Amino acid sequence: MGAFSLITDAERRVPRVVVVGLASCFGCQIQITNAEPYLMQILGQIDLQYWQLVTSEDMPDEFDVAIIEGAVTTREAEQTVRAVRERAAHVMAIGACATTAGVTGMAAPGLGGRVGEVYEGAAPESSGELIEPRPVSAVIEVDSEVLCCPIDPMDFVAALQRVLFGSNRLPDTRTLCSDCKRNETECFYNDATLCLGLVTRAGCGARCVNLGRPCNGCAGLSPDANVEAARMACATYGVDVAAFDKALEMFNQVNPALAESGDE
């Protein structure tokens, strides 16, 4: 963990940053560029050394901060993140794919059979050696995370500030329901409509619920979530419990906490 090593570095150099993309839609990297009004200010704080999406500079051998987007879905990607971990003082995982395996993780069960549903025979060699999708934290230690699918550009800016300047802020582990209480939005369960806010990490401000759409759980399962109680709540409010479990897979397919609850 090198959370504060950057500011104690004797050289006090501007932190050298790389951005690495794994299996993803690239949306979280795009979201970084979508912090338009602040983009140049951010770049003024860092020494951006590598970002394949945006510049043609090659990946350097030395850097301080690595920002990783995407899930680990190949042996090659596994090696990449290990190599990154060896060099980086701070590793930040951004977006659902990197933090929970996200939608990408849905392909995990029966991976081998799935390949045959899309390709004739094996997947093309250039796809790499496929493994069950997993978040970056399943392979290496991750120092900080920016949640959601996609990330909010300002969440990224805030997280980067914490890396650059230090912070004693602890990760928020509340569930989304607490945000809806604060927002005084009506609960979908009153209408017997499935919503994953019961067990999903807060932090987005209940963006989807505010726009009339139930939470799909893109921030991932909260460590405080009581999944069993949520299932009971579903039953009480007339929501199909099996549908709740199924919906939870979308962003939590490979979460060991759900595997342990043993309902699948």
Partner 1 sequence: MRASINVDHIARIEGHGNVHVVIEDNEVKTVQMEVVEPARLFESMVRGRSFSEVSYISSRVCGICSASHTVTDLLAIERIFGVKVTDRVNALRELLVYGSYLQNHGTHLYVLAAPDFLGQKSVFPVAEIDPALFDSALALKQLGNELCTAVGGRSIHPITAVVGGFTHEIGPDEYLAFAERMEAMVPFALATVDVFNSFTVPDMRTDGDILAMYAPDKYAVCDSRVAKFIDADVAFDADEWTDHIEEYQVPHSGALFARVRATGRPYMTSALARINVSWPHLSKQAKVAAAKAGLRPPERNPFRNNVAQAVELVDALERCAILCRRLAADEFEGASTPAPFEVRAGRGVGYTEAPRGVVFHELELDDAGRVVHASIITPTSQNVANMEADMRQLAELLLTQGADEPTIRLRVEELVRAYDPCLSCSVH
**Does residue 180 belong to the site contacting partner 1 (CB under 8 A)?**
no
Residue 155 near residue 104 (C-beta atoms within 8 A): no
- Please state the closest distance from residue 165 (CB atom) to partner 1, in A: 22
The dihedral sign for the CA sequence 199, 206, 177, 194 = negative
Radius of gyration from C-alpha coordinates of the chain: 19
| Contact with partner 1 (CB under 8 A) among 18, 23, 142, 199 | 23
Residue 162 near residue 144 (C-beta atoms within 8 A): yes
As a whole number of angstroms, the distance between CA 185 and CA 167 comes to: 32
- Please state the closest distance from residue 3 (CB atom) to partner 1, in A: 27
As a whole number of angstroms, the distance between CA 79 and CA 92 comes to: 17
Q: In this complex, which beta carbon is closest to partner 1, that of residue 10 or of residue 113? A: 113
State the maximum Cα–Cα separation within the chain, in Å, rounded to a whole number.
Answer: 61
Provide the mask over 58-87, with x wherever binding to partner 1 is found by CB under 8 A and - wherever it is not: ---------------xx--x----------
Q: How far apart are the first and last CA of the chain?
A: 35
Provide the mask over 186-225, with x wherever binding to partner 1 is found by CB under 8 A and - wherever it is not: ---------------------xx--xxx--x---------
**Does residue 119 belong to the site contacting partner 1 (CB under 8 A)?**
yes
- Please state the closest distance from residue 84 (CB atom) to partner 1, in A: 15
| In 34-152, alpha helices (H) | 36-45, 75-87, 95-100, 111-118
| Contact with partner 1 (CB under 8 A) among 10, 62, 118, 184 | 118
- Please state the closest distance from residue 71 (CB atom) to partner 1, in A: 8
Instruction: Report the interhelical angle of 241-252 vs 227-237 (nearest 10°).
Output: 140
**Does residue 124 belong to the site contacting partner 1 (CB under 8 A)?**
yes
Q: In the 8-state DSSP scheme, what is residue 95?
A: H
Burial class of residue 52 in the structure, from the number of CB atoms within 10 Å of its CB (0-12 exposed, 13-18 middle, 19+ buried): middle
Total residues at the site for partner 1 (CB under 8 A)?
61
As a whole number of angstroms, the distance between CA 85 and CA 117 comes to: 34
| Contact with partner 1 (CB under 8 A) among 6, 17, 29, 206 | 29
Among 9-17, 34-42, 168-176, 180-188, the segment contacting partner 1 (CB under 8 A): 34-42
Give contact residues for partner 1 (rule: CB under 8 A).
21-31, 33-34, 36-37, 39-40, 43, 48, 51-57, 73-74, 77, 102-104, 106-107, 111, 114-115, 117-120, 123-128, 130, 133, 149-150, 207-208, 211-213, 216, 243, 246-247, 250
